[in-house]
Chain A
């Protein structure tokens, strides 16, 4: 049962990922990516980790993809423009390097998994339990947690700063079509 579910979900995830790449319409791409995220979430569920499942849904499907969709819709950039690449060798090279990276990653994970049992870290004992995760976050990983707060502050300030200027100078800007 679990194996069957795994294969179905994994297939859906793969189809979503590949369809995202080949889709010509940016909104369709975003939706296929959403499908992929959903399938990943179900995979987490199969791994007995409902916490990761909900986080995957909230963060990726609920926040990041909505942002993507928003940007695509507001820019009206749904259609890929078919301008000929100025650097013709770039695309094949990119594909080649991408496949290379995939190969390295696959080899690493396969051989790494085959070589020895993974040494469990701090999270392994109580994986996926939100209470334990929270405790870990406030004890051992307190510093990264706090730094993240500072980083978010910086990001918010940055958004306000850049946005404010755009608004102040908007009237002075000529209505250029770029």
Chain B
């Protein structure tokens, strides 16, 4: 037997990923052997530190780009910006969880490394350029989330949520693998660049490409499941409601963002040649997602479910940016993702503050009269709600503005119109919360609990939301710069 020739591997290109995975693995051991029971918060702080270090490690790589592991992984500015967004999301989610877990009696040190592993899966989704790697990234993320969803284990809603998520997630994974197999059968490769090359060579006749189109369709279905696009969104409200709130917050922005980022790469790179086929499908998906998500939120009295439907609606908006696979669209996508992530994390932070110990009712009534009791909290929540609704001086407005313009310029004017109309509808239920907080008397006594982690979380999210809304230029510049290497 001749020895194996292992292809050269450039580990520098995956420095942030390696940092997160390595730190998380070490943290698992440190948590078990060094950190005493009852001081698990320390693990949380260490996890945040690890994520920040991973973000810092990425800084010197801004001007580096390249691919490694036989072209299965790339590092470019697009993936690096996404990495930073994911790191921030992970760190803020952990900050929220620091006091939430002990308050609900479900504190276990493994929670924090698991979040880090999920972040690693998300980074993988941002960097992967091979369908197999993307699949594994999705699995790494999903398996972690199945566990985290069921983390409040003896609580029945949490178990139900974990079960639902697991079964549907496994179903989606099946579609993904089947799709990959069909695509491989048609093109003989799983690498995105290889597929693009194959499609470039071929003069496309639809009849010959049944295999490829069926495969691409199944991959699309899997992504739709993960990003909760209508009609694959049924699980979202139940899962968000049942899972521990920090996990729901993490999922609402993290999973969605990572899967959409990967979808952008798949569609814009690999399947650019068959755009004529997927564009109408995706447009229809986006339209019904926006409509159903926002209409569904109208009737909710449970804030967590409302935020779940709202996240469905927002996935529809983000999809607009993906469809216009132009530079403008990808820019708008990144910008929207950042704005939405920060705003939503902030909103979930307020929900956590209001959550009573062991209580699983997040009625909108609990927000009534919040202004009288905790004015700052109410103002922060109002800010987040305005941002989600897309009211001018906030990040949400700028993000929506960008994405609709991009869609309009990309020739999807009707979709932009649908977006504007649904945004107007959405304003109703976002502003309802604000009205409750400022105009009504408290229906019953709710003692909000604030602490350092949550405080920091809400403050950071609030300031960022305002900052992005007021001075969007640097962020837009950043998003523009991110796409230099992507090449539109």
Q: Which residues of A contact B (CB under 8 A)?
A: 104-105, 107-109, 111-112, 115-116, 118-121, 131, 135, 138-144, 147-148, 150-151, 153-155, 157-158, 160-162, 164-166, 169, 173, 178
Knowing A139-B6, A141-B132, A143-B73 touch, does A151 contact B210 (C-beta < 8 A)? no
Task: Please tell me if the beta carbons of B133 and A144 are within 8 angstroms of each other in the complex.
Answer: yes
Contact assessment for A147 and B150 in the assembled complex, using a CB-CB cutoff below 8 Å: no
Q: Complex: how many Å from CA A161 to CA B43?
A: 15
Q: Is B60 an interface residue (CB 8 A)?
A: no
Complex-state Cα separation, A12 to B132, whole angstroms: 32
A161 proximity list for chain B (CB < 8 A): 108, 110, 114, 147, 151
- Which residue, of B9, B133, B210, has the highest number of chain A Cβ atoms within 10 A? B210
Closest to A178 in B: B156
Q: Is the CB of A151 within 8 A of B7?
A: no
C-beta contact mask, B11-22 vs A, less than 8 Å → 1, else 0?
A: 000000000010
Kindly state the separation between the CA atoms of A173 and B214 in the bound complex, as whole angstroms.
49
Return B7 CB to nearest CB of chain A, in Å: 6
Q: Is the CB of A150 within 8 A of B117?
A: yes
Q: Which residue of A lies closest to B135 (CB)?
A: A144
- Given the known interface contacts A118-B185, A143-B69, the answer about A150 and B140 at a Cβ–Cβ threshold of 8 Å is yes
Are the CB atoms of B108 and A158 closer together than 8 Å?
no
For residues 285 through 300 of chain B, which have their beta carbon under 8 Å from a beta carbon of chain A? none
- Which A residues are in CB contact (< 8 Å) with B208? 115-116
Give the contacting residue for A139; candidates B4, B120, B185; CB below 8 A.
B4
Say yes or no: A138 contacts B4, CB within 8 Å. yes
Q: Is the CB of A162 within 8 A of B153?
A: yes
Q: Describe B's contact surface by its main secondary structure.
A: helix
Query: Does any Cβ of A come within 8 Å of B336's Cβ?
Result: no
Chain B residues, Cβ within 8 Å of A150: 21, 117, 120, 140
Set B110, B120, B124, B210: member contacting A107, Cβ < 8 A: B210
* CB-CB under 8 A for A148 and B136, given A111-B211, A115-B207, A157-B28: yes
Q: Pick 19 A–B contacts, CB within 8 A, sort by A.
A: A104-B214, A112-B186, A115-B208, A115-B210, A121-B189, A139-B4, A141-B132, A142-B6, A142-B7, A143-B73, A144-B72, A144-B130, A144-B136, A147-B136, A150-B140, A154-B140, A157-B28, A162-B147, A162-B151
> What's the least CB distance linking B171 to chain A, in Å?
12
Closest to B175 in A: A101
Q: Is B455 positioned at the interface, with any CB of A under 8 Å from its CB?
A: no
Chain B positions within 8 Å of A, measured between CB atoms, are 1, 4-7, 9, 21, 25, 28, 69-70, 72-73, 106, 108, 110, 113-114, 117, 120, 124, 130, 132-133, 136-137, 139-140, 143-144, 146-147, 150-151, 153-154, 156, 178, 182, 184-189, 198, 207-208, 210-215, 217
A contact residues around B1 at 8 Å (CB): 131
The answer to whether A108 and B211 touch across the interface, beta carbons within 8 angstroms, is: yes
User: What's the nearest-Cβ distance from chain B to residue A122, in Å?
Assistant: 8
* Pick from B139, B147, B153, B210: contact of A111, CB under 8 Å: B210
Contacts of A165 in B (CB 8 A): 106, 108, 153-154
Q: A112, B189: Cβ atoms under 8 Å?
A: no
Q: A121 contacts which chain B residues (CB < 8 A)?
A: 184, 188-189
Chain B minimum-CB-distance residue to A151: B140
Selected from A111, A120, A142, the residue in CB contact (under 8 A) with B9 is A142
Contacts of A142 in B (CB 8 A): 6-7, 9, 69-70
Q: Name which residue of chain A comes closest to B5, CB basis.
A: A139
Contacts of B106 in A (CB 8 A): 165
Q: Provide the residues of chain B in CB contact with A112, threshold 8 Å.
A: 182, 185-186, 210-212
| Bound Cα distance A47, B35 (Å) | 55
Set of chain B residues within 8 Å of A109, measured between Cβ atoms: 182, 185, 211
